Amino acid sequence: MADKLIIVESPAKANTIKKFLGGNTKVVASMGHIRDLPKSKLGVDVENNFEPEYINIRGKGDLIKSLKKEAANAKQVYLATDPDREGEAIAWHLAYILGIPEDSVCRVTFNEITKETVQESIKHPRKINMNVTDAQQARRVLDRIVGYKISPLLWKKVKRGLSAGRVQSVAVKLIADREDEIEKFIPEEYWNIYAILLDEKSKTTFEAHFYGKDDKKLEIHSKEELDVILKGVKKAKYIVKDIKKSEKKRTPAPPFTTSTMQQEASRKLGFTLKKTMSVAQGLYEGVKVQEKGFVGLITYMRTDSTRISEEARAAAKKHIIGEYGEKYYENRYYKTKKDAQDAHEGIRPTYVELEPDKIKDSLTPDQYKLYKLIYNRFIASQMSAAVYDTVAVDIKANEYNFKANGQTLKFAGFMTLYVESDDQKQETKKSKKVEVDTTLPELTINQEVKEQKIDAKQSFTEPPPRYTEASLVKALEEKGIGRPSTYSPTITTILERRYIEKEQKQLRPTELGKIVNKLLVENFGDVVNVQFTAKIEEEFDDVAEGKQQWKNVINEFYGPFKVTLDKVEKELEHVKLEYEVSDVPCEKCGRMMVIKYGKYGKFLACPGYPECRNAKPIYETIDVPCPVCGSKVQVRKTRRRRNYYICENNPKSCNYISWDKPKVGEKWDPTQNTNVGETKKTTRKRKTTKKKSTTKAKTTKKKK
């Protein structure tokens, strides 16, 4: 019989914790949730005060039996699931399954999986927090009602297989609204004037840009306006009227929250949100590090707090002073935003001495990249500000004003280690510029500088950019939609449902997404209303803090929702989907084929279905012509998802096929290039032969 049984969510976490606990202690994994609402029906009794009908998750019967047996054989059971609302709910469900009373002192949490934290947490268990559990129940039940009530309506009126969701529908609306802005955007002309000026004392040229007239800012919107200004400064003397020198400081960014980590990993590493969370989960649960064994390398990765512990602050101070010197350290505290759940720290390394490059061999390439990002961001957050010397010069040319700005980096501070990325380089006209050194010559007031050249550049205002995963997360967070744990699954879901598609990191709505969004906006305004959805999130927070009953939140929502649902079901007519027409004729009936979406992406289908069932895949093509016949080259994938390149006319009139991407002007010699088809056959034969010989060897061994 075990003295202690500790139940966590994942085997990786169990393996790490086992190493820290001596004595007769057993650590097992629940593999996530073990009870949930049934998939086959609503699972919420709307007539009986929204009582949820939880069932054991299919396929977990043997695991539940095993957990019950282990619990029966233990003197004390501790539920150590993740330290968030989802983890609290899993602990509550486990307590129910194992017959542990609700008021039992059985709950332990780890903000970081280190030996010290695990051992200390086990000494101080607590009761399951029912307020936090109820906040999770409120979200789960409300999302189930929205999804299971609206989705069948979409199947009936639009197309089978569609779904609606409280947060996902708002995310689709944001992307669709942005696309509308882009389509309706009318570019406006504007001009910039740049003067190249010479300081005769130092023989140095520098650039000044046009500012305005008579010390007032003036924008140039036409060629006519430009010509007036150029005429006004022709042969003018450029006189320095004012010089302002100052010092500018740039402070470091705070430690990561979930959303800022997702954004920065997307911008700097090119990671999707799903990948970021998966890699971070592994770093939190534990990695085998040389001389340390299994250890969690980062604190809990689902948090919207930037707070850090005093121990971590002291460790950062020691590291910075030792590595960079006293002047690089500054004790910094960061304000957590008003509506943040401050139960956890910001995301930081658990051991500052485990520098990324020292443990690189213990990590996968992706783990190393993300760990280094988290590590450097945390250390930089406790470093001194970067200091710039700046100079701003006002120059007069007749009644017109020009300005020249210069700056030099005086002290790098935190920028020695880490600089935060912008959301996107051209996200808005007001986006931050990269801070580079621009030196101006030593000028004096009333000094004349000579015009060397004057340039004018015509530009047009640009529409707002499409969202990327990073900027969508930022928008959702700023508007109070969802919580750190919901961003990744939300974006994954709407991509999988084909409501949006990704083009070179940019998110845009599909035709299907536009239709579903329009239907929801016109008929279920509250469900896709940003302010309403944010208000619901605040009410979930109130439930978690014990300020409100969770069933009251559901009841307040359900009344008006049910009235709308009944009305839409009666009045909404069938919505016909308009498919994008391609330029490819159907070989069987001559109709122009349309683009549809299937399990594996886009494909061409005849619009004459069901009379004509012709369909064929859409292949990606490259911008290099076939080296043999000059036709288009398609990119295809083997069963193992490896790319190969093939002429669109293969095998009809061209035999080009290659593992290597063709180059412009390159001649193809089939005798020097491995044929894809042959390679596959050869590999298959080799595998079969190997299998046979192994079997034969086993038989011989048995006889002996």
- The 10s digit of each residue's pLDDT in 273-311 is 999 999 999 999 999 998 788 899 999 999 989 999 999
Name the amino acid, one letter, at 498.
Answer: R
Question: Residues 523, 484: contact at Cβ < 8 Å?
Answer: no
Torsion of CA 9, 11, 12, 14, to 10 degrees: 80
CA distance 161 to 276: 28
Residue 610's Cβ-side half-sphere holds a number of Cα atoms within 13 Å equal to 0
Please report which confidence band the pLDDT of residue 619 belongs to, taking 50, 70 and 90 as the band edges: confident
Give me the pLDDT at residue 671, please. 66
CA distance 143 to 154: 16
Give me the pLDDT at residue 434, please. 42
Query: 308-358 pLDDT, tens per residue?
Result: 999 999 999 999 999 999 999 999 998 876 555 556 789 999 999 999 999
- Determine if the peptide bond prior to 254 is cis (ω within 30°): no
Burial grade of 575 (CB within 10 A; 0-12, 13-18, 19 or more)? middle
Give the residue with greater pLDDT, 430 vs 30. 30
CA distance 392 to 220: 22
Please report which confidence band the pLDDT of residue 429 belongs to, taking 50, 70 and 90 as the band edges: very low
Gyration radius from the chain CA atoms: 32
User: Out of 46-50, 108-112, 210-214, 425-429, which region has the weakest mean confidence (pLDDT)?
Assistant: 425-429
- Across the range 502-530, mean pLDDT stands at 90
Eight-state DSSP code of residue 344:
S
Mean residue pLDDT across the chain: 88
Please report which confidence band the pLDDT of residue 695 belongs to, taking 50, 70 and 90 as the band edges: very low
Residue 191 in this model has a pLDDT that exceeds 90: yes
Name the amino acid, one letter, at 297.
Answer: L
Give me the pLDDT at residue 337, please. 67
What is the DSSP pairing of strand 592-598 with strand 51-52? unpaired
Residue 93 in this model has a pLDDT that exceeds 80: yes
Give me the pLDDT at residue 433, please. 40
Residue 638 in this model has a pLDDT that exceeds 90: no
Please report which confidence band the pLDDT of residue 640 belongs to, taking 50, 70 and 90 as the band edges: confident
Question: Residues 82, 63: contact at Cβ < 8 Å?
Answer: no
- Across the range 30-39, mean pLDDT stands at 94
Question: Any idea which residues carry the catalytic annotation?
Answer: 300
CA distance 202 to 198: 9
Sign of CA dihedral 435, 440, 444, 449: negative
- Across the range 210-231, mean pLDDT stands at 96
Collapse the DSSP code of 230 into the 3-class scheme (helix H, G, I; strand E, B; otherwise coil) and give the result: helix
Give the residue with greater pLDDT, 1 vs 615. 615
Residue 397's Cβ-side half-sphere holds a number of Cα atoms within 13 Å equal to 26
- Across the range 664-674, mean pLDDT stands at 70
CA distance 462 to 189: 10
Please report which confidence band the pLDDT of residue 693 belongs to, taking 50, 70 and 90 as the band edges: very low
Give me the pLDDT at residue 43, please. 95
Give me the pLDDT at residue 465, please. 96
DSSP string, 502-521: EETTEEEE-HHHHHHHHHHH
Tell me the whole-structure pTM to 2 decimals.
Answer: 0.81
Strand partners, 406: 391
CA distances from 442 to 204, 210, 258, 404, 620 (A): 10, 21, 47, 12, 57
Give me the pLDDT at residue 422, please. 63
Collapse the DSSP code of 278 into the 3-class scheme (helix H, G, I; strand E, B; otherwise coil) and give the result: helix
Question: Residues 83, 111: contact at Cβ < 8 Å?
Answer: yes
Structure tokens at 36: 């949930």
- Across the range 672-689, mean pLDDT stands at 42
CA distance 544 to 444: 63
What is the DSSP pairing of strand 293-295 with strand 74-79? unpaired
Looking at mean pLDDT, say which of 265-274, 475-484, 646-655 comes out highest.
265-274
